[in-house]
Amino acid sequence: MLSSDKIARINELANKAKQSKLTEEEAKEQTKLRAEYLQSFRSSMFNTLKGVTIVDPEGNDVTPEKLKEVQNKNKLH
């Protein structure tokens, strides 16, 4: 996950953008930090989903085939 310093900086830049216009350098930094945050979030979410099995109310495994393929590739289930 992203460091707390980087998350704090993202929030700081977001608050500053609400108050006034960001400089060109700050806008580039904000874009870079947001992209890094999204990459980290997506990676974390994907790793979480790799360990999930979806079961319907009758107890049948209804995990999507694409996810099953990833799980089999990584031999998690």
**Based on the structure, what is the number of domains in the chain?**
1
Query: Which pLDDT score, from 0 to 100, does residue 73 have?
Result: 86
* CATH, residue 11: 1.10.287.540
- pTM here is 0.74
Listed in sequence order, the residues at least 6 apart from 52 whose beta carbon sits closer than 8 Å to its beta carbon are: 63, 67
Ordered mean pLDDT values, 10 residues apiece, the chain (77 residues): 93 97 97 97 93 94 92 74
Give the domain range for residue 65. 4-76
Q: Which amino acid is at 59?
A: G
Give the closest residue to 41 by CA, choosing from 75, 12, 6.
6
Query: Which pLDDT score, from 0 to 100, does residue 43 have?
Result: 95
